[in-house]
Structures are given as C-alpha cells and as structure tokens.
Amino acid sequence: MEVYPKEKFRKVGSVMGKLDGKVVVVTGSVSAIPGFDSIGSATVREALAEGARGVVVSDINDKLGEDFVKELNEKYGEGHAIFVHTDVSQPKDVENLFKTTEKVYGTVDAIMANAGVVTAEDVDKDPEEVLKSRKFIQSINEDGVFYTALYASRLMIKHATKGSIVMVSSIHGVAGRIKVVNQETGDVLIERFNLLQYTMGKHGVVGLSKALALQLADYGIRVNTVNPGYIMTPLFQAAVAADKSDLAAKDSLATEAFDFAQLAALHPLSNDPVKDKDIVPRGKFGGRMGVPAEIAKPAVFLMSDESSFVTGQKLVIDGGYTAG
C-alpha cells in the first residue's frame, strides 16, 4: 500500500475547509445501495469536501468499500481515500485499521465511530434469542465503539494530535422507545418497541463519550456524540421492511408502526433543506424524516477546530422528536 505523507498532497480547489489538511477515519462508512448515502458515506464525502487530505473508509463489505474509494479518488485525487476492511467487533481488526492509517497518512486527526446494527429482541421473547441478540448488538454497538475510540486515542496521543472522536449514538441514547402515530388524527396511539438492547447500547455510547472526554482532556482530545433521529438510510429502509413484514402477521395496533409516514410525523420539523423532496418521507400532518447529509455536516463540525471548546456533549439531531 502506497504511503501518502502530508507534503505529497495537492490542494483540491483553493477554499479552506473545516477539515483542511486533516486525516479522518470513519467506520461503517459504506452504503449498501450505491447512489444512496448512508450516514457514514455521507460523512466521508463531507470530510473530503471540507478539505481533509485523507479519509479512511472502513467497513466489512470489501467490494462496496473499494468501489467507493475509487469513486472518491477519481474526484479528489489519488490517495485522498483508502479502504481498510474492518469488523469493529474484532479488536485486532480495529488495531489494524489505525496501524494502516498511521502507515499511509502518518497520523489521525478525527474519527467517527459509526458502525452499528439494530435488533428488536424484547425481554418477553425466547431467552436464547434474547441472549443471542444481546451478544451480537453488544459486540458492534458497544464493544466496537470502545475499540475504535481506544485505538484512535492511542494514535492521537502518540502524535500529540489533539484530535476529535465522534461517536454515533441515537435518539435512543436519549429516549427509551418508539411512538406510534395515528395517520388519520396525528395522535400518538401507543408506545411500543422498547428496542431494549439497542437503547441500552446507545445510552452506553453517550456514557462512554462523557467518561472518555474527561480522561482525554489533558491530551487535548475531544469526545462527543451525535444522536440522530430517524434518518432515511439504506440500512434503515431494510430494517423497516423486515420488521414491518414480521408485524404484518400479528393482530396489533403496531402493525403499521414502521410506516415511513408515521415515523416522519414523529419529527415535527417541516422545513425542506434537501433537493430530492420526493425521497424524504413526510407525515400527513407535517414533519419529515432526516437525510444522511443532515448528520454528516454536524459530525464534521464536531471533528473540526470550529468545535474546539466542545467535549463530552451529545448533539441530538432529530427534527424535534425529543423536544416534547
């Protein structure tokens, strides 16, 4: 693998960006559906658009990752992006991710621990299934974030980077459960789907960020979380389709709980910052879902020096979902 020292990079454009000259690592940064960004892939694009000299795309899907990096390097110049296969549940993979980053770019300035999964095994289900689900979600949403922060901070300390660690939590790191909205009246019918294990893990990410922010403060390293509401990503669409199919066999008010229009209605904000209006689900009585770029931009802000006095904080980006 070729090494790209800082002095080798040419500028792309003349305008200074928020991440000018910085090296960024994003886990879970491949979109499962080419042409539709995930939060991770949108953040990679935003980092390069804001002047990052190198971005490390990290994921378990090698083909999509390599194709994504090829696309990015064609736009920004060879060496601006590399792909490193990483299963964040495996500490050796994460260690290799940062060793490769150091070898290629010399250091790391900012990271986004974004890799995550969703399960909905509640405690009233089969104990074996609950425990299996628990082990799986913990290995990625909790252990994976911890491993990523651990090896990132070690590299930052080694090079006195005084960098930024951004962890992706969720509104479920703030609130406890999903609501269900009656599309005829706009009223909240019931509250269902504790997403118990997902919620526990995302609260844990917030707690980790606060404890780590204090521990790393002496090194000048900042640690924060972004807590997205429901965002129209390929992973979310797949999860909705699977869960809705499962619910269809049940006689429950929640059969339509994961209808996109109902989820959109939970976010009262009805502005329209995106061009492709037709792909953003909207509630009958107002509100909409978010899009990946609306998480990517705040994440890049937290990675940048513009947030130099911000640490140990959670940035909730949910269109007003948790305001009420």
Query: Does 160 reside within a domain?
Result: yes
In a domain? residue 2:
no
User: Is 5 within a domain?
Assistant: no
What average pLDDT score do residues 3-8 get? Answer: 58
For 106, counting Cβ atoms within 10 Å of its Cβ (0-12 exposed, 13-18 middle, 19+ buried), the class is middle
CATH number for the domain spanning 76: value is: 3.40.50.720
Tokens 């290995």 correspond to 139
155: left (phi over 0), alpha (psi -120 to 50) or beta: alpha
Three-class DSSP category at 222:
strand
- Residue 247 has a pLDDT of 42
Residues 6+ apart with CB under 8 A from 105: 4, 5, 6, 23, 53, 54, 56
Q: Is the pLDDT of residue 251 over 60?
A: no
* pLDDT higher than 80, residue 4: no
Q: Under a CB-based contact definition with an 8 Å cutoff, are residues 197 and 123 in contact?
A: no
Please report whether residue 254 resides in a domain.
no
- Evaluate whether residue 140 is within a structural domain: yes
Q: Distance between CA 107 and CA 80 in Å, rounded?
A: 14
Residue 183 belongs to a domain: no
Give the predicted TM-score (pTM) of the model.
Answer: 0.87
Residue 179 lies in a domain: no
CA contacts within 13 A on the Cβ side of 100: 21
Q: Token pair 């980053």 is at which residue?
A: 101
- The pLDDT tens digits of the residues spanning 179-237 come to 665 666 666 555 555 677 888 899 999 999 999 999 999 999 999 999 999 888 876 66
Whether pLDDT at 276 is above 60: no
Higher pLDDT, 284 or 44: 44
Confidence at 302, pLDDT banded by 50, 70, 90:
very high
Give the domain range for residue 300: 18-174+195-230+291-323
The answer to whether 38 touches 292, Cβ cutoff 8 Å, is yes
- The proportion of the chain whose per-residue pLDDT surpasses 70, expressed as a percent, equals 76
Mean pLDDT of 33-62: 94
Answer yes or no: is 80 within a domain: yes
Residues whose CB is less than 8 angstroms from the CB of residue 298 and which lie 6 or more positions away in sequence, other chains included: 226, 315, 317
* Residue type at 295 in one-letter notation: I
Total tally of structural domains belonging to the chain: 1
Q: Where are the alpha helices (DSSP H) in 91-183?
A: 91-105, 127-137, 143-158
Polymer length of the chain: 324
